[in-house]
Amino acid sequence: MKAGRPLMSLNVLMTAGSRRVPLLEGLRRALRDLRLAGSVHVADVNPLSPAMQIADRAHIVPLSNDPGYIDHLLELCQRERIGLVVPTIDDELPIFSDARARFEADGVKVAVSDAFVTTLCNDKFATSAYLRDRGVAAADAWLPDTIPADVAFPVFVKPRFGRGSVGAFTASDRRHLDFFLSYVPGAVVQEYLPGTEYTIDLFCDFQGRPLSVVPRERAVIRAGVIDRGRTVADRALIDLALRCAAVLEFKGACNIQCRMVNGRPVIFEINPRFSGGIPLTIAAGADFPRMLVELAVGRPVAPAIGQFTAELWMTSYESSFFVDAARLAALTERASPARRRRSVA
């Protein structure tokens, strides 16, 4: 894309579509509202993933740890004239960071932070140490062989590299701690943070400049994703996100997870990607998908820090798609025989 020549059309590819239907709809709405020709494609390993059912085009792809994953996506982008790729899961973020230059050589923007940021944020122990060393409030963390003898209980045990609250447990005493350390592979131990939990949605441009910050209280959480919550206009939370952006150059969407401890927000995790609660942030007037699409086509986006509807509640429910045999066959027809067997398992 040439500087000063905004695009009038854009095809978007969202990877690991899974249940991210609201994000898909947000990207599609952005194309429509901005009067851009184009469509939203979804890539996934499973044809039964919900987002695959409503994508403009659905593509079965290898797992992100497959050696041919990036080559497969590059070929897909060339074939479908994709202009923007939106990775959505932690595991693949460093992979896209490393391959971003290859995509950009083909004229494809990738909404991902640099490799240093994505690799650091995938490591909960390293994230804590990095932030604390720079004066950013973060939970103290230890590897199993560095836990202080007088550590204060309870503590939190979880995978050092993990996502979605899988394998995360509270240890109330030394006996519980020893058990969970033997049960959770590659564990990290964090100090337990009492208080209300928040996610701060942060959006930065491709130069790392913050454009929007929306804090959200996570009132009810299911499987690591907000089920009920509200937006809050808390200056301490907004300032914490801006402080993170000052020490880590985020590009695109990012979410910062923290708890309010004695009136002070303390971070326990950062995910440099769209959050599961992004529908609430969009509904509150901070339309991250639209900002991303505008940046991708070369349109300027002005910072709008603190500009959102506060005290807006979201309460979520389950919905379903129903897929007949013909639809399932159409979704899997491009996969290899081996991948067809695995994808419907």
Using one digit for the tens of pLDDT, what is the confidence trace for 19-34? 999 999 999 999 999 9
Cα–Cα distance, 216 to 187 (Å, whole number): 28
Cα–Cα distance, 103 to 117 (Å, whole number): 19
Based on the domain organization, do 65 and 168 belong to the same domain? Answer: no
Distance of CA 324 to the CA centre of its chain: 31
Per-residue confidence (pLDDT) for residue 225, from 0 to 100: 79
Based on the domain organization, do 51 and 148 belong to the same domain? Answer: no
Cis peptide before 62 (omega within 30 of 0): no
Q: How many domains does the chain have?
A: 3
Based on the domain organization, do 225 and 333 belong to the same domain? Answer: no
- Structural Rg of the chain based on CA atoms: 20
Predicted confidence (pLDDT) per residue in 165-222, tens digit: 678 899 999 999 999 999 999 999 999 999 999 999 999 999 999 999 999 999 887 7
Based on the domain organization, do 212 and 278 belong to the same domain? Answer: yes
Predicted confidence (pLDDT) per residue in 210-257, tens digit: 999 999 999 887 777 778 999 999 999 999 999 999 999 999 999 999
Largest CA distance in the chain: 63
CATH number at residue 158: 3.30.1490.20
Mean pLDDT throughout 59-73?
Answer: 96
Based on the domain organization, do 186 and 201 belong to the same domain? Answer: no
260 lies in some domain: yes
Per-residue confidence (pLDDT) for residue 305, from 0 to 100: 97
Which one of 157, 191, 225 terminates a domain?
191
Based on the domain organization, do 224 and 257 belong to the same domain? Answer: yes
Based on the domain organization, do 282 and 223 belong to the same domain? Answer: yes
| Domain that residue 165 falls in | 140-191
Read off the tokens for 91.
């595991």
Mean pLDDT throughout 25-51?
Answer: 96
DSSP structural state of residue 66: S
Mean pLDDT throughout 94-123?
Answer: 97
131 lies in some domain: no
Q: How confident is the model at residue 2 (pLDDT cuts 50, 70, 90)?
A: very low
Per-residue confidence (pLDDT) for residue 52, from 0 to 100: 96
Per-residue confidence (pLDDT) for residue 165, from 0 to 100: 65
User: Which single residue is written with the structure tokens 């804590």?
Assistant: 128
CATH number at residue 218: 3.30.470.20
Cα–Cα distance, 275 to 281 (Å, whole number): 10
Contact, 259 vs 209, CB < 8 A? no
CA-closest candidate to residue 189, choices 167, 164, 218, 220: 167
Based on the domain organization, do 69 and 151 belong to the same domain? Answer: no
pTM of model > 0.75: yes
Based on the domain organization, do 17 and 82 belong to the same domain? Answer: yes
Cα–Cα distance, 69 to 163 (Å, whole number): 21
Which one of 169, 191, 213 terminates a domain?
191
Based on the domain organization, do 325 and 292 belong to the same domain? Answer: no
Predicted confidence (pLDDT) per residue in 166-179, tens digit: 788 999 999 999 99
- CB-based burial, 170-194: b 16+ in 10 Å, e otherwise: ebeeeebbeebbeebeebbbbbbbe
Based on the domain organization, do 263 and 224 belong to the same domain? Answer: yes
Which one of 191, 216, 250 terminates a domain?
191
CATH number at residue 85: 3.40.50.20
Q: What is the DSSP string of 190-210?
A: EE---S-EEEEEEEE-TTS-E
Based on the domain organization, do 201 and 310 belong to the same domain? Answer: yes
